[in-house]
Amino acid sequence: MNLDSLLSVSSQQLKEWALAQDQKDRLRGFREQFYIPQQNDKSVIYLCGNSLGLQPKNARLAINKELETWQNHGVEGWFEGESPWLSYHKYCQKGLAELLGTLPEEVCPMHQLTVNLHLMLTSFYRPTSEKCKILTIAGDFPSDQYALETHVASRGYVPSEVIIEIVPPVGEWLIRTEDIVAAIKSHAHELALVCMSGLHYYTGQLFDMREIVAEAKRHGILVGFDLAHAIGNVPLQLHQWDVDFAVWCSYKYLNSGPGGVSGVFVHQKHHSDTVPRLAGWWGYEESRRFEMTKGFVPMKGAAGWQLSTPNIMALAIHRASLDIFEKAGIENLRSKSIVLTQFLELVIKRINQKIGFQKIKIITPSELSQRGSQLSLLVEEGGKELFDFLVREGIVGDWREPNCIRLTPVPLYNTFEEIWQLENVLLSKLNAI
């Protein structure tokens, strides 16, 4: 949708357009399925779903159901009740598969993201004397950087010698797909793995994962992605793209609670018992798990990478949130997200136009195929002051040093009217400077 015609309309006309969009929004009923934080007896404008998604109202019901199972069955809850805990991960596989474009057996909710990344590196970082390097991107989420550094060091390598980082062109923020592809080509003779985020946490850039994987596969290189900021945000097709593995967290767009359960994707072609892995009791073949015998026999599929007894309460919240996604549909969410984020972009352009200079710079790509819901805004002077003002006014975003405000209109619970309100609040501050 081209919104440029709205650049110069009055605030009232813009409000009328926003209200009309909300009125015809097929997903508008989903907002009522979430608790919206309150400030001064008013709902805040919550634009921080890329950091922590809001609480679904069905989360408390989901936990209470498992508390009742615990109360009524005790340890037998693993085998009895409406949803026996022993196979609880299976209740989430269908929903995850739809979001990720995978087979259900290729995904499993488990552990935490960085734990899962280390598990995947154990299985899929297979260095040889000729090919021992990992290609990644500079400035990726710190936890991923730390995981790569310490993992290669544990294998006896010097991180600075083994990890190749692709950087943006001088003076730019974004990393071009062609630069990643060119790096894969030039280092193909020494690369064992490509491992990077699918959507960059700071800039909001969505990478062309399909093209990156295709180039790596031409050279026989394995590929894995951190999808923390992509899952539940943009449609994915991991199986079709031939991704080898992926990890993610569930507390951002997936609304599964602070520190919520993570998950892994392992492509079907890697489900062999012979794939190297770190093992734990819960990954052992379920039908034989209680035989307590020596010699690890993994469950089929991604579930074979589980280690310890799962957190059932966390899984219950995760299952409840995934149920909302199944009802809404990721393609429907993406369609609304595109227009909602375009509207936010328009509002920022209108603000700069009204104050007469570019006070706020958007560093997230303008191309729709290269971004999700998040826009990263650079405010070179007074950025933190502006962010704090927004918080006081009931607009919750996310601050990243040294000068970046991340705002994320989430299609499940944000409205077009809220974005219109953001314009008025920002102008009230910037016109006073």
Threshold 0.85, pTM exceeds: yes
Domain 4-33+330-430 and domain 60-328 have a common topology: no
d(CA 315, CA 252) in angstroms, rounded, equals: 15
Residue 432: its pLDDT value, please?
A: 64
Here the tokens at position 174 are 């974004």
At 155 the three-state DSSP class reads: coil
4-33+330-430: CATH topology is Aspartate Aminotransferase, domain 1 (3.90.1150)
* Size (the chain), residues: 433
Beta strand 42-43 with 38-39: parallel, antiparallel or unpaired? antiparallel
d(CA 108, CA 115) in angstroms, rounded, equals: 14
Q: Quickly count: other Cβ atoms within 10 Å of residue 391's Cβ.
A: 13
Residue 357: its pLDDT value, please?
A: 82
The H or E element that residue 18 is part of is helix 11-24
Q: Which CATH number fits domain 60-328: 3.30.70.20, 3.40.50.2300, 3.40.640.10, 1.20.1270.10?
A: 3.40.640.10
Residue 2: its pLDDT value, please?
A: 78
Residues β-bridged to residue 398: 406
Which residues, given as ranges, of the chain have pLDDT below 50? Answer: none
Q: Residue ranges per domain, the chain?
A: 4-33+330-430, 60-328
The H or E element that residue 214 is part of is helix 209-218
Contact 144, 301 (CB under 8 A): no
R_g of the chain computed on alpha carbons: 23
